[in-house]
Copies of this chain bind each other. A is one copy, B any other.
Amino acid sequence: MRRVLIIGGGGMVGQKLAHRLSVEGLDGDTDIEVTLFDMAYPEGGAPAAERIVGQLGNFADIDALVAARYDVIFHLAAIVSGESESDFQKGWLINGAAFLHFGMKLEEEHRVSGGAYVPRVVFTSSIAVFGPPFPDQIPDDQPLTPQTSYGAQKACAELMMNDLGRRGIVEAVSIRLPTIVVRPGKPNLAASSFFSGIIREPLNGQEAILPVDESVRHWHASPRAAVGFLIHAAGLDTALLGDNRALSMPGVSCTVAEQIESLRAAAGDKAVALIRHEPNETIQRIVGGWARDFDPARALALGFRADADFDAIVRAYIEDYLTD
């Protein structure tokens, strides 16, 4: 039986992953046991053998997790981009320092086991590791030049993952997720939160605020596709990755205008009329520094698959969250 740990298992993607693992297992293998770690869990959430409540800022919690020697570890927990920018300490502690501690503890456990303990670790990095100026399509060899604290922290974590992988301490895979839309639930502190809001709120009969121009182009994947990336990464032959364990995931590149047309196709003009344009210079500036399109050739060759288009992303939200 394989023991699977999801760090950040109480979050939106973590819960969706836990649910899918409970239905399908991992790569067809249903002989697994799933443990979640997070600060809190939604009521009536995804099934799991155990739900551990803890904090990554408390390094003893990390030590205990790693000492339990799970076979597969998904590390999804992070302080989001907006909060990492507004709270320097919190972002660098959780996304930076705690991740280095996690890596160091993994090495200790590997060493103490005489080299026998080599878990699969799948880490969710971000396209925020890249900064402008961008080419039209960001290639796989785009340099790490983050322009936000969040991006710098994710880049540090990627460097640790590459070192763990190069040394054979873990089977390391870092996946850089596109901006996930349409997120269910409420807006969060990420500057990208409106990308979900302008679809989700109108589909639920509520007003949404659009703080940027409709010409803004960005890079997206559905929560369903994100979970697919994670499961695929857990089964990947890491020998194919070489020394660079970080992969930019495939996604859908489209403008806000195109997203609104997908909303119109799914729910009509009445839904679109619920979007209120209220330009916000801060968000416009932050989003203006984000990547717009990628050429994720490596990930595609390794079998990662994105949503077909933005219509499919809207459909995934309706099917997964609005259909009982």
Task: Give the interface of A toward B (CB within 8 A).
Answer: 88-89, 92-93, 96-97, 100-101, 103-104, 107-108, 111, 131, 141-147, 149, 152, 155-156, 159-160, 162-163, 166-167, 169, 243-244
Q: A100 is contacted by which of B97, B141, B166 (Cβ under 8 Å)?
A: B97
For A154, give the chain B residue with the smallest CB separation: B159
Please name all residues of chain B whose beta carbon is closer than 8 Å to the beta carbon of A169 when the two chains form the complex.
88
28 A-B pairs with CB atoms under 8 Å apart are A88-B111, A88-B167, A88-B169, A92-B100, A92-B103, A92-B104, A92-B107, A93-B104, A96-B100, A97-B97, A97-B100, A97-B104, A100-B100, A100-B156, A131-B243, A141-B143, A142-B143, A143-B143, A144-B159, A145-B244, A146-B159, A146-B162, A147-B166, A149-B163, A149-B167, A152-B160, A152-B162, A155-B159
Q: Is the CB of B101 within 8 A of A97?
A: yes
Q: How far is A131 from B162 in the complex, measured between Cα atoms in Å?
A: 12
Q: A144 is contacted by which of B100, B144, B149 (Cβ under 8 Å)?
A: B144
For A160, give the chain B residue with the smallest CB separation: B152
| Nearest 10 A/B pairs, CB to CB | A143-B143, A152-B159, A156-B156, A152-B163, A88-B107, A97-B100, A144-B144, A92-B104, A96-B100, A149-B163
- 15 other A-B residue contacts (CB within 8 Å) besides A100-B156, A152-B163, A156-B159: A89-B104, A89-B107, A89-B108, A92-B104, A92-B107, A97-B100, A97-B101, A131-B243, A141-B143, A143-B143, A144-B155, A147-B166, A152-B159, A152-B160, A156-B160
Chain B: minimal CB distance from A311 (Å): 36
For A97, give the chain B residue with the smallest CB separation: B100
Chain B: minimal CB distance from A23 (Å): 38
Q: How far is A104 from B153 in the complex, measured between Cα atoms in Å?
A: 12
Please name all residues of chain B whose beta carbon is closer than 8 Å to the beta carbon of A149 when the two chains form the complex.
163, 167
Q: A243 is contacted by which of B97, B147, B244 (Cβ under 8 Å)?
A: B147
For A110, give the chain B residue with the smallest CB separation: B88
Chain B: minimal CB distance from A112 (Å): 12
For A161, give the chain B residue with the smallest CB separation: B152
Best-buried of A144, A146, A152 by chain B (most CB within 10 Å) = A152
Please name all residues of chain B whose beta carbon is closer than 8 Å to the beta carbon of A156 when the two chains form the complex.
100, 156, 159-160
Best-buried of A93, A145, A169 by chain B (most CB within 10 Å) = A145
Please name all residues of chain B whose beta carbon is closer than 8 Å to the beta carbon of A142 when the two chains form the complex.
143
